[in-house]
Structure 1
Amino acid sequence: MLCPLLFLSAFIALAGAQQQTITQSSMVDISSCPIAYYGQKYEKLYVNFTRREIAFCFDKFYNPGSKGDCIVGSSPDKRRAHFDIVQADSFLEHGIRNKTQTIQNSLRCSVQITMQISSSKISLDLFNFGTEAALSLEAHGIGLVLYRTRVSGVVINKVEVNNILYNYQNDDTIDISGCRHSGTVYKPGTVVNSDPQICSSVTCSETATLQTSGCGPLEHCQGNGICMSASTCTVTGPTVIDVHGHMNSIQDRCAYSLFPTPSLPDFHVVGNFRDRRRKDVSFLDSVTLRVDGHDIHLEQGGRVQLDDSTLTLSSSSQLVHGVQLSKDQAGVTAKLSLSNLNISVFFDGDTTQILLEGPAGSSVEGLCGNS
């Protein structure tokens, strides 16, 4: 441990001009290096010397019966503690990352507290990693040095060095990052709360920030934690308006794939374009639904063909190969549910509207997906 100790001493010398010495209960301004202590950002340290311990509190002076955010532990030989603000260093950052294995952000600065315990120098350091933070203890004397972290008076963790002859530990480092929600501390990477009925969840991210997720403005919750979105594709005459609102025009007389989706290989919607009133312009003439190897043709005049057979439809739904077919004065409607998708295809002889309702992010290809 000789090299880290020499390195630390160099740091103290460089930053020594900012050093502040405390010999009695005092408040230390750390606004130049604020610490996010278990999710709460603090710019002050309140230092107390008790009969047997020293306390470094963030919200008020320490009282054993109070519920403060504090680091409490081994008292120095004399009522004396030195404070210093140390700028970021890549070597130091690398060391803290290796010891915690959880810190994600970059080191910005640290608050270094040095004291003397059992005639040996110890260093207690608070590291600012933006929304994250770490606490490190370095001690080289024989015996136990211990500091406990508390939130609202409850012990959360500790740093401890217990050196005995021929068994030197020297240092201990812990991650003191977290998120606060309704007075409770949550570790990074955990779910704070979740309500599948409204598709809402609050999580403490890996970098210790609260993140709320839910359905988008054009989505609705299905009640099982799945956000559903509704997309519409319209084809009228030669014009296609895809699910993104982009407009395209068909120039030739062919069958075009309107709506294939990778998640449904057995379902396909095809638009058949032909010249009708004008020879130089293509118009939508019919729509074909391909379901499980069968073709359902929605044609002019409300005619519906299943492969080579004509179907007789009414306003009451008729189930044909999993497709609900109905017909009224406005046109023909085909509805089906496949996997997590609800699909509706309407055709009146001139215009078709394809409505897709499915999990947010469902992929749409073909002309309706502008591909």
Structure 2
Amino acid sequence: MRSDAASDRGEWTGIPLHPSRAGRSVLMQLQTDALIEARDVTRRFGSKPDLAAKLALRLGLAKPAPVVHALDRVSLKVRQGEVVGLVGESGCGKSTLGRVIAGIIPPSEGEVRWRGAPMNALPVPERKAADLAIQMIFQNPMAALNPRMTVEKIVAEAPRTHGLSKGENDAYVDRYLTMVGFDTTMKRRYPHQFSGGQRQRVNIARALAVQPRFLVCDESVAALDVSIQAQVINLFMDLREQLDLTYLFVSHDLGVVEHISDRVAIMYLGRIVEEAPVDEIFRRPNHPYTQALLSEIPRIERSKRRFKPVQGELPSPIDPPKGCHFHPRCPFAMDRCRIEVPKKIEIARGHQSACHLNDS
């Protein structure tokens, strides 16, 4: 069964809108407390020079290593039970933000908060509990699995290490493999003996086995065939209902994000430029970059909107443009855009956009 809003948007690859989406959008908008939050997170990559490197730099024998500006003062809240889609071109910083939120890499500046408390300020027992509650599912299921371990050992390893299962844990492992639709009679086989879709189910089971509350899904269906994508997406939504999970769903595919998310954040070159409930952002995109992304989705719509596709290449994060990062590719760029970073302001309830056009 599809909502009217979904009917307006048309079909995508045969994936029906999951029933759980229908009643949640209004509920999500009414909640204000974040389960997890990134506050003014900046992340730069570039090795710090050792003493020898510093000496070489002083003597002019070497050049400074380039610094990659992956994230620039990014703030994002994800509320309990919500699915937030994080969208943007390859290289815009989506995966980096996902890894910072998941605690895999630290921010250079800013902080990540779990249930309102800064992660790095939590007492050790609470920090360990928070680390277990936040899990990440990666894009490449084969690279994420130990090829020398059987499926059974892969799923059992972390729960046994953290004391979630004791002694014979066959029943514990079987529970989570069954939950993701994996045939438990094949649990003593190795990852290379399975298809990409089966391996991704193992990845999901491994994450669930430590009983998380929040999952960062980093392009988790991008490497799968379209028909398998549909199965895994619906699996994510079923698990959300069964286990009351919360997701940050990172993807470059707006079609997938449209069908799984309650709210969408659009990222461009290390900054979030627009954020809104999914129906709002697909019906009334505000930022020129969001409009350009939507113009590239083939669809039949009742409204005859026409947006200009994004032009040119994504600038290098080593030397990002001054002011608004999007201005070199924006058809509406003004002099102000070249020198002043636009602030993200609320243009409608729950709809924020960072564009100087909203001030003019």
TM-score range, shorter chain: under 0.3
Q: TM-score, normalising length from structure 2?
A: 0.19
When normalised by structure 1's length, the TM-score is: 0.19
Greater RCO, CA 8 A, separation 6+: 2
Q: Which has the higher strand share?
A: 1
